[in-house]
Amino acid sequence: MVFSNRAVQHRGALGSPGVLWALVGLCLASVGYTFLPEIGSLLKAWELEEYSQGYLIVPLALWMGLHLLSERTPRPSPSLWGAVFLAAGFFFLFVARTSSFEIPAFYGLVACLAGIAIGAFGTRAFRVLLPAFVYLVFALPIPQLLFVTLAAKLQLISSDWGVFLINLLGIPVFQEGNVLDLGAVRLQVVDACSGLRYIFPLLSFSFLVAFFLRDRLWKRTLIFFFAIPLAIGMNAFRLAWIAVLVQFLGADGLLTGLAHDVEGWAIFVLCVAVLLGFAECLRRIGRRGEYRLQYLYLPAAPFFSGRLGGSVRMVAVTVVATLLAGAVWVWQSSGYSDIRPPHPPLSSFPTTVGEWNGTPQKLTPEVLKVLNLHDYWSARYMRPGTVAPVDFYIAYYESQRVGGSAHSPANCLPGTGWRILEKSIHPVPVGSGGQTLPVTRLLVQEGQVKLLLYYWFEGRGRILNEQYSVKWYLFVDSITRNRTDGAVVRAYTPVLPGESVEVATERLDGFLAGVYPDVGRFIPGEDPAGLP
């Protein structure tokens, strides 16, 4: 009887709300401390205009979740499924830190938060909170390679639509890709004007509008996806508006500075107004829906239909979170390091390649800080009797973890104003026996300047062309071989005025055929000599 009373007292203490919130706090502390670098990266991403809505999404998601709980008051039932979600979140973190690809860690953070909610309140409560967790996804950045691809496509679409509107207004305009020649000024639709700065915030806002409207699913779905053509169309309208101002007021002060920013904000406000009007028109079709106006006020308690309290299952979930956080801490602080194969310093790379003579070039300290590489070679090679140089560059990384890894030129070129005209995989003959080197071939243009650019990723016995495959093999090799060394190799030459792309291709192919044997001596292969 004494033992029975003690057991009841023990269960009563464990089942108190204070114990539950203490366990939740311990879980949040474990996850927050472990994901602290990724949280810092997320905050840095929110400083960009495309993702600045992230600062609002987090409190709005919390507000949404509290109202959802207040509406449905699910019965709390702690579940061990929370441990599964936590394990998945930490696995995503492991993938991110071993592949230098941070995006999985961001989704892992959301998975961990979901795991804590499931462990504390149960799967029923999580289903109620699901819209709030989905809304959190809009605060996460997309992969840079996907961002660049979308930006390039939207630049052309915005340019085409803008030219259509400008022609309707009777203003003469000549279009060359994403460059609009208005006579008095040439407008270049770069990444910042592609429409992504409208699409991402508008998508998050359209999700809110669709959520606030109680109506048929097809209406809410249409409201959500309407944000995409709306953003592109309004961006084209902005280009047409600028053309009108240039036509009648001149170009001074309209394309940069405060005037440019005010135009951007005015267009976004107009986008929001059109989106709300579109939602209201849909609401009036057929059976009228209604808005969740109660979400404008403080959520009313209670949030659950049963008593909140700690449980053995939540204790188990907390133990899993703590152990996983401890395992990551031990892994990161145990002095582990990748195997770093020896290689000749790139400063000794040949300055003479056949008929080509190179002049080494130094990267600025600011660029080196951003690249965070371990060794590099940069030189401009000239052949006697020619005026077209070949710029050759190798960035070598002894270890590629988050914060320092080879990245694709296709990602950074659009951000510096270059437009990618062509992209393909091009085999370069590099051996007498028919051996070829597969390179990513880009034809890029900025204004009237064209460049033919080749690049590839090389390391650990592999030659790769795409960033995602590079990340995958970094993950695999970090586990199976404890190696993440590698390099990105880039070569480019100008396409001179009056010169065909074929002539530039022949020049670049010929240079690479001569220089590639030297590249292999400086980048460690699959099983280089000197490995322990």
Read off the pLDDT of each residue in 1-15 and give the average, rounded to a whole number.
49
Print the domain residue range for 478: 346-522
Do both 78 and 188 map to the same domain?
no
pLDDT averaged over every residue in the chain: 86
Instruction: Name the residue with tokens 């090679």.
Output: 381
Phi-psi label, residue 381: left if phi above 0, alpha if psi -120 to 50, beta otherwise: beta
pLDDT of residue 267: 83
Read off the pLDDT of each residue in 139-166 and give the average, rounded to a whole number.
80
Provide the Cα torsion 368, 373, 379, 380; round to 10°. -70
119: in domain: yes
pLDDT of residue 241: 79
56: in domain: yes
pLDDT of residue 9: 44
Percent of the chain with pLDDT over 70: 87
290: in domain: no
Read off the pLDDT of each residue in 148-162 and give the average, rounded to a whole number.
77
pLDDT of residue 7: 40
**Which phi and psi angles does 513 have, rounded to 5°?**
-60, -35
Do both 248 and 321 map to the same domain?
no
pLDDT of residue 35: 96
CA atoms within 13 A on the CB side of 152: 21
Do both 247 and 326 map to the same domain?
no
299: in domain: no
pLDDT of residue 242: 77
Percent of the chain with pLDDT over 90: 51
Task: Give me 492's structure tokens.
Answer: 């480019």
pLDDT of residue 232: 86
Q: Give the model's confidence band at 13: pLDDT under 50 very low, under 70 low, under 90 confident, else very high.
A: low
176: in domain: yes
pLDDT of residue 113: 97
Do both 360 and 499 map to the same domain?
yes
Say if CB 72 and CB 136 are below 8 A apart.
no
Burial of 175-201, coded b for 16+ CB within 10 Å and e otherwise, reads beebbbebeebebbbbbebbbbbbbbb
pLDDT of residue 310: 81
Read off the pLDDT of each residue in 112-132 and give the average, rounded to a whole number.
96
Please report which helix (H) or strand (E) contains residue 164, including its range.
helix 144-168
pLDDT digits over 434-460, tens only?
789 999 999 998 878 899 999 999 989
Q: Give the model's confidence band at 403: pLDDT under 50 very low, under 70 low, under 90 confident, else very high.
A: low
530: in domain: no
List 382's β-bridge partners, or say none: 357
Do both 456 and 473 map to the same domain?
yes
Classify residue 97 by burial, with Cβ atoms within 10 Å: 0-12, 13-18, 19+.
Answer: buried
pLDDT digits over 30-65, tens only?
999 999 999 999 999 999 888 989 999 999 999 999
pLDDT digits over 156-209, tens only?
787 788 888 888 888 777 766 666 766 666 666 654 455 677 888 999 999 999
pLDDT of residue 186: 64
Do both 188 and 120 map to the same domain?
no
Domain count, the chain: 3
Read off the pLDDT of each residue in 139-157 and give the average, rounded to a whole number.
79
For the cut 80, the answer to whether the pLDDT of residue 96 exceeds it is: yes
Report d(CA 289, CA 220) in Å as an integer. Answer: 10
Do both 213 and 228 map to the same domain?
yes
Q: Are strands 436-446 and 352-353 parallel, antiparallel or unpaired?
A: unpaired
Do both 121 and 181 map to the same domain?
no
Residue bearing the bigger pLDDT, 12 or 450: 450
Burial of 490-499, coded b for 16+ CB within 10 Å and e otherwise, reads bbbbbbeeee
Do both 135 and 151 map to the same domain?
no
Please report which helix (H) or strand (E) contains residue 392, including its range.
strand 390-397
Say if CB 309 and CB 14 are below 8 A apart.
yes
Distinct helix (H) and strand (E) counts, the chain: 16, 14
Among candidate residues 351, 333, 373, 306, the one with its CA nearest the CA of residue 523? 373
Do both 79 and 7 map to the same domain?
yes
pLDDT digits over 240-283, tens only?
877 777 776 665 555 555 555 677 778 888 999 999 999 999 99
E-assigned strand segments in 137-223 = 174-176, 179-181, 186-188, 213-214
Residue bearing the bigger pLDDT, 210 or 241: 210
Report d(CA 174, CA 392) in Å as an integer. Answer: 35
Among candidate residues 413, 409, 414, 416, the one with its CA nearest the CA of residue 155? 414
pLDDT of residue 458: 94
Q: Give the model's confidence band at 336: pLDDT under 50 very low, under 70 low, under 90 confident, else very high.
A: low
Read off the pLDDT of each residue in 94-111 and give the average, rounded to a whole number.
90
**Residue 150 in 3-state DSSP?**
helix
**CA 135 vs CA 107, 109, 141: distances in Å:** 12, 14, 13
224: in domain: yes
pLDDT of residue 177: 61
pLDDT digits over 421-431, tens only?
889 999 999 87
For the cut 70, the answer to whether the pLDDT of residue 332 exceeds it is: yes
pLDDT of residue 250: 61
Do both 165 and 226 map to the same domain?
yes
Phi-psi label, residue 446: left if phi above 0, alpha if psi -120 to 50, beta otherwise: beta
pLDDT of residue 211: 94
pLDDT of residue 475: 87
pLDDT digits over 480-499, tens only?
888 889 999 999 999 999 89
pLDDT of residue 168: 84
pLDDT of residue 37: 92
| pTM of the complete model | 0.79
pLDDT of residue 10: 45
pLDDT of residue 2: 42
358: in domain: yes
Do both 132 and 180 map to the same domain?
no
For the cut 70, the answer to whether the pLDDT of residue 323 exceeds it is: yes
